[in-house]
């Protein structure tokens, strides 16, 4: 693994995937066919892209129960315990509506309301992760969303992966449909005979899914478009090279475009990690992917001071940050930009991917500068509440009318003054 001296203004930012013109045109065509032809378009695209001939789009409760029963009871218990941890952490994020009142009798506040309905996209094939089902569904359920719909592409036999169905049952999904790609996004946004539309679509997908989400945004809400996964590790001489290397590789196995970066004040650790990465790489089942990722997007930076190292972390704004230093909590206050911050030796990143409770859907590609992990508030919205009293109105009517006239909005001023008659 390449070792460099840390320089200022580090950035791992890569250009956002906007797709080719051909891909964009294809997505627009698919969406328009679903809006026009509904279910029959869904069947047609599923035949074409997934090679499956479906009699029913919706997964039956029998299919769900059979899938759930096919998982070993030990594994089911692990998924349930993870779900419970996720639920517990996200329940702590819940907001109440609030109000403030004053001596004049005026009430001001914010009313917090869950979204009516949410659609969760789950990719097919190898990227059909049960953990991703939990992480997207549980915050919506916790927020109080009444209707949660899952869509995911079937295999050629029209089946869905048992792990995904089991996780959906544990997380509490209301409806599951065998449909993927841009056609699934279109169905969620605009509805068909079988699938009623939703208010927000979340979950990862391939470039067609990402482009379709962009296209329907505004008619419905969407989550962020995720980029390749990233980890930055901030370490001093107390970190253990084999553990640091293993954590870097756990990102690298995801994707050739994943990025794994170590920033350390210890030249000795840098050397040790570089060697360990090479050693562990050779023994990995996904060696080709991980090797390519480490070669293109893996770096070790040696910093002069811990201050410079922390500033580099803020410049990168990584999706995942591990802090493996003697006293990691001392550095927490200086870290401004990171999706999730893992402190200390026992907070290896997979602890958060699967089990601890915080969400694993995190801002990538430097967007941690301005975005947050998926959370309960992504599934709630607020309405301002204004109940002005007669007394407050009387005290302030002239001021409000004057402000409106300063802006040339006479009808606004007259709306106020229409109440002053009596």
Min separation Cβ 405 and a copy of itself, Å: 10
Min separation Cβ 58 and a copy of itself, Å: 24
- The smaller minimum CB distance to a copy of itself, of residues 47 and 146, is found at 146
- The smaller minimum CB distance to a copy of itself, of residues 22 and 74, is found at 74
Q: Per the annotation, does 121 bind a ligand?
A: yes
Pull the structure tokens for residue 213: 């989400």
DSSP 50: I
CA distance 31 to 17: 20
Q: Per the annotation, does 353 bind a ligand?
A: yes
Q: Per the annotation, does 208 bind a ligand?
A: no
- The smaller minimum CB distance to a copy of itself, of residues 44 and 377, is found at 377
Min separation Cβ 54 and a copy of itself, Å: 26
CA distance 77 to 85: 12
Min separation Cβ 325 and a copy of itself, Å: 12
Annotation says 304 is catalytic: no
Integer distance in angstroms from the first to the last C-alpha of the chain?
80
Nearest partner of 167 among 205, 127, 129, judged by Cα: 129
Determine contact, residues 122/114, Cβ cutoff 8 Å.
Answer: no
Q: Which of 320, 322, 337, 349 is catalytic?
A: 320
Q: Which of 319, 322, 349, 360 is catalytic?
A: 319
Distance, C-alpha 3 to centroid of its chain: 31
Pull the structure tokens for residue 422: 């009596």
Q: Per the annotation, does 348 bind a ligand?
A: no
Q: Per the annotation, does 251 bind a ligand?
A: yes
Determine contact, residues 277/293, Cβ cutoff 8 Å.
Answer: no
- The smaller minimum CB distance to a copy of itself, of residues 27 and 42, is found at 27
> Which residue's entry shows tokens 């430097």?
366
Q: Per the annotation, does 407 bind a ligand?
A: yes
Residues 6 or more apart whose Cβ sits within 8 Å of residue 276: 241, 242, 244, 245, 246
Min separation Cβ 25 and a copy of itself, Å: 14
Annotation says 90 is catalytic: no
Q: Per the annotation, does 43 bind a ligand?
A: no
- DSSP reduced 3-state for 145: coil
Nearest partner of 151 among 135, 165, 141, 138, judged by Cα: 165
- The smaller minimum CB distance to a copy of itself, of residues 49 and 388, is found at 388
Phi and psi at 321, nearest 5°, equal -125, 125
Min separation Cβ 92 and a copy of itself, Å: 6
Spell out a b/e string for 44-72, using b for 16 or more CB atoms within 10 Å of the CB, else e.
Answer: ebbeebbebebeebebeeebbeebbeebe
CA distance 404 to 412: 6
- The smaller minimum CB distance to a copy of itself, of residues 180 and 197, is found at 197
Determine contact, residues 199/115, Cβ cutoff 8 Å.
Answer: yes
Min separation Cβ 345 and a copy of itself, Å: 7
Determine contact, residues 274/3, Cβ cutoff 8 Å.
Answer: yes
How many C-beta atoms surround the C-beta of residue 419 within 10 A? 11
DSSP 88: H
- The smaller minimum CB distance to a copy of itself, of residues 46 and 293, is found at 293
User: Which amino acids are annotated as binding site for substrate, given as ranges?
Assistant: 229, 251, 254, 320, 353, 407, 412
The catalytic residues are 319-320
- Known binding residues for NAD(+): 121, 183, 206
């Amino acid at each position: 693994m390449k070792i460099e001296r840390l320089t200022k203004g580090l950035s791992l930012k890569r250009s956002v995937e906007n797709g080719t013109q051909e891909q964009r045109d294809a997505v627009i065509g698919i969406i328009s066919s679903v809006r026009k032809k509904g279910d029959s378009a869904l069947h047609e695209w599923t035949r074409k892209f997934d090679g499956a001939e479906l009699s029913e789009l919706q997964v039956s409760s029998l299919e769900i129960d059979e899938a759930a029963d096919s998982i070993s009871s030990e594994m089911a218990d692990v998924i349930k315990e993870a779900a419970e941890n996720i639920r517990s952490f996200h329940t702590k994020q819940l907001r109440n509506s609030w109000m403030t009142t004053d001596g004049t009798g005026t009430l001001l506040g914010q009313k917090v309301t869950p979204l009516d309905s949410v659609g969760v996209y789950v990719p097919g094939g190898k990227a059909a992760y049960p953990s991703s089902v939990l992480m997207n569904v549980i915050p919506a359920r916790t927020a109080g969303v009444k209707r949660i719909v899952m869509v995911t592409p079937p295999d050629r036999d029209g089946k869905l992966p048992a792990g995904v169905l089991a996780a959906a049952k544990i997380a509490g999904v209301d409806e599951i449909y065998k449909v993927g790609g841009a056609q699934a996004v279109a169905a969620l946004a605009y509805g068909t005979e079988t699938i009623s539309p939703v208010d927000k679509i979340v979950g990862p997908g391939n470039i067609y899914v990402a482009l379709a989400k962009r296209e329907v945004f505004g008619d419905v809400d969407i989550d962020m478009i995720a980029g390749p996964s990233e980890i930055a590790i901030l370490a001093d001489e107390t970190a253990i090279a084999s553990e640091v290397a293993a954590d870097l590789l756990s990102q690298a196995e995801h994707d050739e475009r994943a990025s794994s970066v170590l920033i350390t004040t210890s030249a000795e650790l840098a050397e040790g990690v570089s060697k360990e990465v090479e050693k562990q790489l050779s023994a990995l089942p996904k060696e080709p992917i991980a090797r390519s990722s480490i070669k293109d997007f893996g770096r070790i930076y040696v910093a002069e001071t811990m201050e410079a190292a922390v500033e580099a972390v803020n410049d990168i704004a990584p999706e995942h940050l591990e802090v493996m230093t003697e006293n990691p909590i001392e550095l927490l206050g200086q870290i401004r930009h990171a999706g999730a911050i893992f402190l200390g030796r026992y907070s290896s990143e997979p602890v958060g991917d699967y089990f601890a409770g915080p969400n694993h859907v995190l801002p990538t590609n430097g967007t941690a500068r301005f975005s947050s992990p998926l959370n309960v508030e992504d599934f709630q919205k607020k309405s301002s509440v204004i109940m002005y009293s007669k007394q407050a109105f009387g005290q302030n009517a002239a001021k409000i009318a004057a402000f409106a006239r300063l802006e040339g909005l006479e009808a606004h001023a007259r709306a106020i003054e229409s109440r002053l008659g009596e």
